[in-house]
């Protein structure tokens, strides 16, 4: 369970990124965090594991007051919070396995991580997770040898290797094509359900968010202006979050795209096989 | 609105010096200074003509190098130089790594950063020969002074470039490792090292190369190595032996260049 109360963040430049944010996420709930660029979404999730230091307010993970932890002991809090990133943020020159095992860095002493001698339980867990995300055959490859969707799966496995109590997910699909985006979102949702994991997903694609998450929080200029189920996110709410726009047209467009999608997927497959023949 | 009402000419605005008068003054001043400076260089053409003769003998030494009559001296010199080079490169790099990490603003706290940057600045401020003269005075003639000189110079070179490379790493990878709860050492090992390693190896090989060439130069001021042998040969007007030494140096540098090229290609 995650509880955030009166969280504020003022950057050194004087920009107020967050102005007193309050919410609670019960176990197993997946929340979509939407809002225009610069509304503080990214700052908010980074304040939760203190990659960004909040200016005031509290973050509770279960009973643990994350904001009160001294810097030196922060790792014991961070290792309980898994994070998934926009551009995957894998260490490109390390192998897939090393990337997954790096999820355990907060649990092992330096010499073990330096010699890559992780306890057997962690290693078998890493293999199990790679199998879960469908990449067990790629364990020994370097991370930069994988495609975007595969990399994001490794990112998910790394976060789960931490055995987290909470997932923070920053724009998981921003650099993926529509089909892979949906697959990744589905995978994240399945995993959260399997493990009763609460998660916050920072996401730009409103329709994708509505299709997958069970609760949406809308952020505008550092304040929560919407908090409710995806169905309640109507034209009014969208205007409150993003400002004036022809929202009905966006939905209609999306319906048209959905039928186009099938067509373009077929085209993409054909193009890929052509490329394969050339190579 | 018709197209004709837009200007048809566009000039790139001057970005460096905006005012036309200042620009003329600065560039014109530089040109005049260059002319005046050139006119003060005195060339003794007679002496240059006499020198041609000596230069020609030197060139002949190259064409007919004498490897045999001073071979023992040359072999000892080369061996000393290679030992100096390898030892000083290894020691220099081992010391440079912590200093380079400390001099990277994104990894080190301010006081550590300043100390490490100061060490780098001192090491870079002095040319190898100046350090060699000082160290020869302190430790006497011979390769030990040369070894210390080259180690010291290596620190400034590797630590500075390593620090700059670390400052340019992809921060998102570091952020992801930090988010797992990694300690500082683990962060360096998992997020920084993989990103800077290929360049660090490339720089080290390059420095090995530089150190070998420098070992020939600092030998001239008494810091041992093949430079001392070369100096002796020139002092005795044995240009054929000197030519042999230079050819060996060129050969070794070329081999080193070729090998490091292969290694660099394979570690990408």
B140 exposure class (CB count in 10 Å sphere: 0-12, 13-18, 19+): exposed
Q: Is residue A63 part of a domain?
A: yes
pLDDT of residue A186: 92
Nearest CB to B180; choose among A86, A90, A102: A102
CA distance A216 to chain B (A): 24
| Same domain flag for A68 and A1 | yes
| Better-scored residue on pLDDT, B204 or B238 | B204
Contact A106 B189 (CB under 8 A): no
Domain count, chain A: 2
pLDDT of residue B73: 87
Q: Is residue A279 part of a domain?
A: yes
Q: Is residue B188 part of a domain?
A: yes
Q: Which residue of A has its CA nearest to B171?
A: A89
At A145, the pLDDT band (50, 70, 90 cuts) reads very high
| Better-scored residue on pLDDT, B198 or A279 | B198
pLDDT digits (tens, 9 = 90+) for A5-26: 999 999 988 888 899 999 999 9
Contact B176 A158 (CB under 8 A): yes
Owning domain of residue B196: 66-266
Judging contacts by C-beta atoms under 8 Å, the chain B residues touching residue A85 are: 172, 175-176
pLDDT digits (tens, 9 = 90+) for A88-126: 899 999 999 999 999 999 999 999 999 999 999 999 999
Residue B85 sits in a domain of what CATH number? 1.10.3720.10
At B193, the pLDDT band (50, 70, 90 cuts) reads very high
Residue B252 C-beta-side C-alpha neighbours within 13 Å: 20
Radius of gyration of chain B (CA): 26
Q: Is residue A158 part of a domain?
A: no
CA distance B112 to chain A (A): 18
From first CA to last CA, the distance across chain B in angstroms is 56
Q: Is residue B124 part of a domain?
A: yes
Nearest CB to B178; choose among A51, A80, A90: A51
Question: Would you say residue B112 has pLDDT above 90?
Answer: yes
| Same domain flag for A237 and A259 | no
Give the E-state strand segments of chain A in sequence order: 2-10, 16-25, 30-34, 56-61, 64-65, 81-84, 166-170, 199-202, 215-220, 223-228
Q: Is residue B237 part of a domain?
A: yes
pLDDT digits (tens, 9 = 90+) for B203-233: 999 999 899 988 888 888 888 888 888 888 8
Q: Does B178 touch chain A (CB under 8 A)?
A: yes
Q: How far is CA B226 from CA B9, B197, B236, in A?
A: 63, 32, 15
Q: Is residue B133 part of a domain?
A: yes
pLDDT of residue B239: 83
Domain count, chain B: 1
Judging contacts by C-beta atoms under 8 Å, the chain A residues touching residue B268 are: none
pLDDT of residue B257: 86
Q: What is the mean pLDDT of residues A139-151?
A: 92
Contact B179 A51 (CB under 8 A): yes
Question: Would you say residue B2 has pLDDT above 60?
Answer: no
Q: Provide the mean pLDDT of chain B.
A: 89
Q: Using DSSP, state whether A57 is helix, strand or coil.
A: strand
pLDDT digits (tens, 9 = 90+) for B7-46: 888 888 877 778 888 889 999 999 999 999 998 888 888 8
Could you tell me which residues are beta bridge partners of residue B133?
none
Q: Is residue A140 part of a domain?
A: no
Under 8 Å between Cβ of B174 and B191: yes
Q: Is residue B17 part of a domain?
A: no
Q: Is residue A48 part of a domain?
A: yes
Question: Would you say residue A271 has pLDDT above 80?
Answer: no
Chain B stretch 193-232, residues whose beta carbon is closer than 8 A to a beta carbon of chain A: 194-195, 197-198
Owning domain of residue A219: 1-72+199-245
Nearest CB to A49; choose among B177, B179, B183: B179
Q: Using DSSP, state whether B225 is helix, strand or coil.
A: coil
Q: Is residue A219 part of a domain?
A: yes
Q: Is residue A31 part of a domain?
A: yes
pTM of the model: 0.82
Nearest-angstrom CA–CA distance, A34 and B46: 83
Angle at CA A105, nearest 5°, toward A102 and A108?
130
Nearest CB to A106; choose among B172, B176, B182: B182
CA distance A94 to chain B (A): 7
Q: In what order do the strands lie in the sheet with A16-25?
A: A16-25, A2-10, A56-61, A64-65
DSSP code string of B25-75: HHHHHHHHHHHHHHHH----HHHHHHHHHHHHHHHHHHHS---STTHHHHH
Q: Is residue B61 part of a domain?
A: no
DSSP code string of B186-223: HHIIIIIHHHHHHHHHHHHHHHHHHHHHHHHHHGGGT-
Under 8 Å between Cβ of A115 and A158: no
Nearest-angstrom CA–CA distance, A101 and A109: 13
Nearest CB to B189; choose among A93, A114, A162: A114
- Under 8 Å CB-to-CB from A165, ≥6 apart: which residues? A61, A62, A80, A81, A197, A198
| Same domain flag for A216 and A272 | no
Q: Which residue of B has its CA nearest to A86?
A: B172
CA dihedral B54, B59, B63, B67 (to 10 degrees): 70
- Of the candidates B69, B65, B61, the one whose C-alpha atom is nearest the C-alpha of residue B239 is B61
pLDDT digits (tens, 9 = 90+) for B113-142: 999 999 999 999 988 889 999 999 999 888
Q: What is the ipTM of this complex?
A: 0.85
Q: Using DSSP, state whether B181 is helix, strand or coil.
A: coil
Nearest-angstrom CA–CA distance, A65 and B142: 64
Could you tell me which residues are beta bridge partners of residue A41?
none
| Same domain flag for A225 and A274 | no
Q: In what order do the strands lie in the sheet with A223-228?
A: A81-84, A166-170, A199-202, A30-34, A215-220, A223-228
Residue A229 sits in a domain of what CATH number? 3.40.50.300
Q: Is residue A228 part of a domain?
A: yes
Q: Does B183 touch chain A (CB under 8 A)?
A: yes
pLDDT digits (tens, 9 = 90+) for A217-254: 999 989 999 999 988 888 888 888 888 777 777 777 77
């Amino acid at each position: 369970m995650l509880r955030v109360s009166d969280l504020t963040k003022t950057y050194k430049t004087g920009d107020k990124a967050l102005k007193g944010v309050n919410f609670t996420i019960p176990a197993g709930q997946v929340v979509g965090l939407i809002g225009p660029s610069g509304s503080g979404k990214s700052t908010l999730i980074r304040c939760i594991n203190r990659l960004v230091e909040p200016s005031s307010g509290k973050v509770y993970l279960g009973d643990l007051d994350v904001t009160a932890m001294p810097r030196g002991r922060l790792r014991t809090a961070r290792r309980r919070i898994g994070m998934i990133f926009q551009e995957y943020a894998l260490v490109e020159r390390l192998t897939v396995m090393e990337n997954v095992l790096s999820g355990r860095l907060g649990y092992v002493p330096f010499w073990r991580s330096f010699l890559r001698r992780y306890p057997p339980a962690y290693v078998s867990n890493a293999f199990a997770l790679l199998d879960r995300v469908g990449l067990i055959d790629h364990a020994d490859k370097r991370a930069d040898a994988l495609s975007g969707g595969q990399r994001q799966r490794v990112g998910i496995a790394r976060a789960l290797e931490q055995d987290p109590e909470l997932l923070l997910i920053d724009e998981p699909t921003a650099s993926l094509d529509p089909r892979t985006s949906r697959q990744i979102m589905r995978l994240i949702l399945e995993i959260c359900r399997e493990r009763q994991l609460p998660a916050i997903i920072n996401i730009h694609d409103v329709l994708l968010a509505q299709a997958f998450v069970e609760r949406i929080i809308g952020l505008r200029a550092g304040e929560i202006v919407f908090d409710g189920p995806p169905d309640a996110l109507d034209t009014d709410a969208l205007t409150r979050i993003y400002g004036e726009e022809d929202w009905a047209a966006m939905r209609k467009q999306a319906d048209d795209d959905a039928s186009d999608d099938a067509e373009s997927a077929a085209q993409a497959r054909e193009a890929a096989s052509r490329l394969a023949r050339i190579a | 609105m018709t197209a004709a009402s837009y200007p048809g000419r566009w000039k790139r605005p001057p970005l460096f010096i905006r005012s036309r008068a200042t620009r003329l003054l600065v560039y014109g001043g530089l040109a005049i200074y260059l002319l005046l400076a050139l006119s003060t260089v005195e060339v003794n053409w007679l002496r240059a003509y006499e020198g041609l003769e000596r230069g020609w003998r030197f060139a002949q030494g190259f064409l007919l190098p004498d490897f045999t009559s001073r071979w023992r001296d040359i072999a000892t010199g080369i061996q000393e130089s290679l030992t100096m080079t390898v030892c000083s490169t290894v020691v220099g790099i081992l010391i440079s790594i912590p200093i380079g990490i400390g001099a990277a603003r994104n990894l080190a706290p301010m006081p550590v950063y300043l100390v490490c940057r100061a060490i780098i600045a001192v090491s870079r401020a002095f040319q190898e020969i100046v350090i060699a003269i000082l160290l020869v005075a302190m430790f006497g003639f011979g390769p030990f002074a040369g070894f210390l000189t080259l180690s010291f110079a290596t620190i400034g070179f590797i630590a500075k470039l390593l620090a700059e490379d670390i400052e340019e790493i992809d921060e998102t990878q570091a952020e992801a490792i930090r988010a797992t709860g990694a300690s500082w050492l683990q962060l360096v090992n998992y997020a920084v090292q993989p990103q800077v390693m290929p360049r660090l190896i490339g720089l080290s090989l390059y420095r090995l190369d530089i150190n070998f060439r420098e070992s020939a130069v600092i030998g001239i001021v008494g810091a041992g190595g093949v430079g001392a042998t070369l100096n002796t040969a020139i002092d005795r007007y044995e240009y054929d032996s000197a030519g042999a030494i230079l050819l060996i140096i060129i050969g070794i540098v070329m081999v080193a260049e070729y090998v490091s090229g292969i290694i660099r290609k394979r570690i990408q």
